[in-house]
């Protein structure tokens, strides 16, 4: 599969390009970014790829799949441009920062015939797979309440655009929360939201030193930030309750991701660390509690970032499914509904 990569920042450099270069069935044929230093750096990772300054330099038919890894506010314009030319696209999360953008992506795909795949690596995590199997086996019964949390100790993202609503579309909810909401929807399915209440705050962004060490070695203070660095929410959906807590920084000592699913027949609790942080839960655990007691469910061994390799392996098959674009847009709409409900409830535009 011939791959073009557009947007050559952190996620391209640290996550996708090294994996694409190693992948036996994928060849990076072109890369593009308006920053010459980013293009040069990417060029040093890949032999033989065409180095471009703009997405438009990658023409229809130049690649089988274009990875769009640009800042959130550009997703619709950049991905839409390729879809309109009949080019298949793999788009980073959040797919869009508003329903209007999703409608435009749908229109571009319809007009040009390009197909849209979403970046959803967390679904491929081994520990998430073990949790999904418990649910599929009926261990929890009818869904009642999902508690989703991802709390970093120090983990404000490095890029400037992450801290501005106009460029990021939101703060920690669209950055970390998106992954967990997507995983929940895979495991339990999405449900229409009846009501929501939420509290959002920005207590760490304006102070220096709370940055993600694995990205930048420390992020400066961002006094102009207008997104939340913490969000707590409670949503009632038509099928289950949803308790959310996300934080880019906190007084916790490790970065912890927790998914607790309470059903009529049991509760499953996964405690782990998503992402690439170096400050991790040392031993991830999955615990099942039922009428007959509590047991620890063994987790398959997994390395940091394995889910991204598995996601790449799954892409060719994802393109052969019927209506991949429709599926992607439906999933993005459902994740965005949770995001919108939380921001409305927190009174954040």
Ligand X SMILES: NC(=O)c1ccc[n+]([C@@H]2O[C@H](COP(=O)([O-])OP(=O)(O)OC[C@H]3O[C@@H](n4cnc5c(N)ncnc54)[C@H](O)[C@@H]3O)[C@@H](O)[C@H]2O)c1
Is the CB of 69 or the CB of 109 nearer to ligand X? 69
Residues touching ligand X: how many (CB under 6 A)?
A: 24
d(CA 37, CA 159) in angstroms, rounded, equals 16
Tokens of 141: 């019964």
Question: Contacting ligand X (CB under 6 A), which of 21, 38, 51, 234?
Answer: 38
Question: Contacting ligand X (CB under 6 A), which of 27, 74, 201, 216?
Answer: 74
Query: Which residues lie below 8 Å from residue 37, measured CB to CB, with a gap of 6+?
Result: none
Is the CB of 33 or the CB of 255 nearer to ligand X? 33
Q: Which residue has the tokens 């298949």?
A: 88
Q: Distance between alpha carbon 246 and the CA centroid of its chain, in Å?
A: 13
Question: Are the CB atoms for 150 and 231 separated by under 8 Å?
Answer: no
Is the CB of 29 or the CB of 288 nearer to ligand X? 29
* Rounded least distance, CB 30 to ligand X, Å: 12
DSSP symbol at 202 = -
d(CA 262, CA 139) in angstroms, rounded, equals 10
Is the CB of 214 or the CB of 258 nearer to ligand X? 214
d(CA 27, CA 20) in angstroms, rounded, equals 7
Query: Of 310, 260, 270, 323, which Cα lies nearest the Cα of 117?
Result: 323
Is the CB of 77 or the CB of 297 nearer to ligand X? 77
Question: Contacting ligand X (CB under 6 A), which of 87, 95, 108, 119?
Answer: 119
Question: Strand 241-247 relative to strand 256-263: parallel, antiparallel, unpaired?
Answer: unpaired
Span 85-114, contacts to ligand X by CB under 6 A: 92-93
d(CA 1, CA 6) in angstroms, rounded, equals 16
Q: Is 121 in the site for ligand X (CB under 6 A)?
A: yes
Q: What angle do CA 97, 103, 109 make, to 5 degrees?
A: 110
d(CA 61, CA 232) in angstroms, rounded, equals 45
* Rounded least distance, CB 314 to ligand X, Å: 14
Tokens of 261: 């699913």
Site string for ligand X, 152-191 (x = CB under 6 A): -------x--------------------------------
* Rounded least distance, CB 6 to ligand X, Å: 5
Question: Contacting ligand X (CB under 6 A), which of 26, 29, 32, 139?
Answer: 32
Question: Contacting ligand X (CB under 6 A), which of 4, 49, 63, 72?
Answer: 72
Q: Is 235 in the site for ligand X (CB under 6 A)?
A: no
Question: Contacting ligand X (CB under 6 A), which of 3, 6, 109, 198?
Answer: 6
Question: Contacting ligand X (CB under 6 A), which of 3, 5, 8, 42?
Answer: 8
Span 191-230, contacts to ligand X by CB under 6 A: none
Terminal-residue alpha carbon distance, the chain: 41
Is the CB of 15 or the CB of 139 nearer to ligand X? 15
Query: Of 5, 80, 25, 91, which Cα lies nearest the Cα of 314?
Result: 25
DSSP symbol at 265 = S
Residues in contact with ligand X by CB under 6 A are 6-12, 32-35, 38, 55, 69-72, 74, 78, 92-93, 119, 121, 159
């Amino acid at each position: 599969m011939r791959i073009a990569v557009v947007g050559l920042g952190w996620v391209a450099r640290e996550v996708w390009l090294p994996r694409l270069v190693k992948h036996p069935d994928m060849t990076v044929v072109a890369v593009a970014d308006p920053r010459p230093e980013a293009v040069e750096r990417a060029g040093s990772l890949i032999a033989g790829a065409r180095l471009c300054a703009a997405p438009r330099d990658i023409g229809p038919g130049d690649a089988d799949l274009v990875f769009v890894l640009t800042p959130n506010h550009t997703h619709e314009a950049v991905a839409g441009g390729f879809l309109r030319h009949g080019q298949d696209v793999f788009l980073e999360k959040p797919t869009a920062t508003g329903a209007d953008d999703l409608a435009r992506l749908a229109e571009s795909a319809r007009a040009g015939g390009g197909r849209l795949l979403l970046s959803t690596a967390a679904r491929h995590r081994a520990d998430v797979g073990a949790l999904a199997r418990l649910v599929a086996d009926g261990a929890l019964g009818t869904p009642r309440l999902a508690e989703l949390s991802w709390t970093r100790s120090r983990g404000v993202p490095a890029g400037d655009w992450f801290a501005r609503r106009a460029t990021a579309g939101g703060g920690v909810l669209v950055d970390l929360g998106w992954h967990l909401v997507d995983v929940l929807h895979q495991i339990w399915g999405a449900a229409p939201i009846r009501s929501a209440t939420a509290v959002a705050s920005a207590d760490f962004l304006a102070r220096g030193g709370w940055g993600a060490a694995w990205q930048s070695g420390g992020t400066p203070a961002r006094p102009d930030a207008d997104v939340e660095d913490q969000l707590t929410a409670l949503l009632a959906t038509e099928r289950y309750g949803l308790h959310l807590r996300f934080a880019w920084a906190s007084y916790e000592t490790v970065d912890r991701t927790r998914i607790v699913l309470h059903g009529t027949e049991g509760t499953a609790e996964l405690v782990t660390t998503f992402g690439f942080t170096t400050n991790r839960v040392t031993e991830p655990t999955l615990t099942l509690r039922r009428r007959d007691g509590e047991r620890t469910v063994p987790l398959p061994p997994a390395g940091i970032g394995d889910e991204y390799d598995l996601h790449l392996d799954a892409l060719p098959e994802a393109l052969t499914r019927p209506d991949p674009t429709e599926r992607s847009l439906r999933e993005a709409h459902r994740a965005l509904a949770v995001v919108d409900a939380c921001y409305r409830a927190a009174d954040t535009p």
